Amino acid sequence: MIEAARPAMIHELDQIVELIQLAYREAASARGGPVFLRREARPLPPEDGLEDLLDSEDSAVMVGTIDNAIVGYGVVAVETLRDGGRLAVVEDIYVRQEAREVGVGQALLAALADWSRDQGCFAIDALVLPGDRASKNFFEGQGMTTRALVVHRALDSMGEGA
């Protein structure tokens, strides 16, 4: 079994959209997920804008594979900060449940970080939903540490489930 990550190709967009939909289903039932899907997640339908990301100089879309079969994806974008520094932000990273804990996520994050380093980024950020211990442990296992916490309180029924 060979785990790897590489840049996505235009003809693979349908497979990436399927992975995005799986990721959104998981996020919908997670603590913080409903507001995440409304605020931070890629707008629906997910295929809108994906093609542009493939052509953008300030973002990269990678696929994670096992024996060349796509089982995950990641998206990173460069943000230019007020001081001119370039920060890489992992916008998406997802691996099918049945393909987790075998190295695909590590390969994806390494590919996203390598691309970001090549773009002159000084660091890389990623968002983890509260209570998602597996994702938190994954990122910490890759040398990432908590930089900020976002707290939230619902003010009406639209904010519930966050």
Which residues, other chains included, contact 109 with Cβ-Cβ below 8 Å and sequence gap of 6+? Answer: 74, 90, 93, 139, 142
- Angle between helical axes of 133-141 and 104-118 (0-180°, round to 10): 50
Digit-coded pLDDT (tens) for 53-62: 999 999 999 9
Digit-coded pLDDT (tens) for 125-155: 999 999 899 999 999 999 999 999 889 888 9
pLDDT, position 47: 82
Q: What is the mean pLDDT of residues 45-52?
A: 85
Which CATH number is 3-159 given?
3.40.630.30
Give me the residue spans of the domains in the chain.
3-159
First to last CA, the chain: 38
The band of 38, judged by pLDDT with boundaries at 50, 70 and 90, is very high
pTM: predicted TM-score of the whole model, two decimal places: 0.93
